[in-house]
Amino acid sequence: MLYSIIVSAGLETIAREELSQRFGDTGHLKILERKPQRLLFQYKGNPRELLALRTAEHLFCVLKRVPKMTRSRSSLAALSGSLSRFNFKEVFECCKQVGIGVRKRVPFRVTSRLSGKRNFRRADLQRVTEQALVKRGWYLSPGGSALDVWAEVHGDDGYISIKLSKNDMAQRPYKQAHIPASLKPTLAYSMVRLSRPHPKDVFLDAMCGAGTILLERALINRYHYLIGGDVSTDALDATRTNFGRQHQPRQFFHWDARNLPIQPNTVDKIVSNLPFGETVGNVPQLTNLYRRCLKEYARVLKPRGRMVLLTSQHTFLDDELRQLRFLKVGKQLTVDVRGKQAWIYVIHFA
């Protein structure tokens, strides 16, 4: 079967690595393409296993992919015609394996997406898809039990897919308490992966917010100790609620990350979401915060340790890293965070 996953912009490579790590040795996986915010792949195993992917926002079974679509309205006929001849038997079996019931007369709804300049509208794409499926005996239904069909045209490619994941795939059941601007779990997981988790890690998030990064680290594999802290007591309350009694040993502190009560050279990995500027006042304040936090992180990090930092204020971080010549940026990724461009830095000692 042909599948696709949608990921946040900038996380495509990490998603590919996760796919390969989880399923590459089974002989069931063949990754076909990596495109912006999308991976296309063949998988012979049970699709329910794909729902465990932690970088994916959505999982789809691809009914039809139409390459080299033109700007002309006639290209819509190619999509519509492919549905009129499609054998849905294997697709329906795939739906059943992930718990989606399929009736003899199929209720469905269509979501359409369109990018690039075309001689047709998104509404046209949706309409021809609906008409083609109605001719197959399906019927339109806005209800929750309807199959979620996606019709998309991006670049030169058109896709007709059935969404296999629920709307909360990218969320986590542990996320019971929220705080404003809380980090998306898929992004937190990706940052943790970039830290190269090891079972003997002492792992620190000194600005832990609702605890998302710490929880993703706790879930990825074994560790020696988790340490979290925040200047906000509301954030710490959210962290404690989301952790509950699970994932020991760990400890949470009310502190200022510019002055950590931690001994030098004791932490293996530091992963943090640095302030984006919305919650910190002026530029001098933010510059001072970045400078002092980075020095503290370098002080407590072990010589072979690694830190992964997320920021939208990359010029501030670049300026501070130039002053601290003993720190080296090993990797830098551009990502999307709530519609804003941000950067992930992977930093170690030079």
Q: Are 4 and 35 in contact (CB under 8 A)?
A: no
Q: What is the pLDDT of residue 53?
A: 96
pLDDT of 279 strictly over 60: no
Candidates 3.30.450.20, 3.40.50.150, 1.10.150.120, 3.30.70.260; correct CATH number of 185-349? 3.40.50.150
Q: Poorest-confidence range of 81-85, 93-97, 137-141?
A: 81-85
- The rounded percent of the chain whose pLDDT value lies above 90 is 71
pLDDT of 281 strictly over 80: no
> What is the band of 277 on the pLDDT scale with cuts at 50, 70, 90?
low
Average pLDDT in the chain = 92
Other C-beta atoms closer than 10 Å to the C-beta of 250 total: 19
Cross-strand bridge partners of residue 78: none
pTM of the model: 0.92
CA distance 253 to 306: 21
Q: What is the pLDDT of residue 338?
A: 86
Cα angle 53, 58, 60 (rounded to 5 degrees) comes to 100
CA distance 107 to 134: 10
Residue type, 320: E
Tokens of 98: 């992930």
Mean pLDDT of 236-242: 96
Residue by residue, what is the 3-state secondary structure of the chain?
CEEEEECCCCCHHHHHHHHHHHHHHHCCEEEEEEECCEEEEEECCCHHHHHHCCCCCEEEEEEEEECCCCCCCHHHHHHHHHHHCCCCHHHHHHHHHCCCCCCCCCEEEEEEEECCCCCCCHHHHHHHHHHHHHHCCCEECCCCCCEEEEEEEECCEEEEEEECCCCCCCCCCCCCCCCCCCCCHHHHHHHHHHCCCCCCCEEEECCCCCCHHHHHHHHHCCCCEEEEEECCHHHHHHHHHHHCCCCCCEEEEECCCCCCCCCCCCEEEEEEECCCCCCCCCHHHHHHHHHHHHHHHHHHEEEEEEEEEEECCHHHHHHHHHHCCCEEEEEEEEEEECCEEEEEEEEEEC
Asked whether the CA dihedral 153, 158, 162, 168 is positive or negative, the reply is negative
Q: What is the pLDDT of residue 83?
A: 84
Residue type, 347: I
pLDDT of 105 strictly over 80: yes
Candidates 3.30.2130.30, 1.10.10.60, 3.40.50.360, 3.30.70.260; correct CATH number of 2-163? 3.30.2130.30
Domain boundaries, the chain: 2-163, 185-349
Q: What is the pLDDT of residue 276?
A: 76
Q: Are 250 and 226 in contact (CB under 8 A)?
A: yes
Q: pLDDT of 245-255, one tens digit each?
A: 999 999 999 99
Cross-strand bridge partners of residue 39: 5, 34
Asked whether the CA dihedral 62, 67, 73, 77 is positive or negative, the reply is negative
Cα angle 60, 23, 247 (rounded to 5 degrees) comes to 95
- Sole residue written with tokens 């080299």: 68
Using a 10 angstrom Cβ sphere, with 0-12 exposed, 13-18 middle and 19 or more buried, the burial of residue 236 is: buried
pLDDT of 263 strictly over 90: yes
Nearest one of 113, 104, 9, 123 to 55, comparing CA atoms: 9
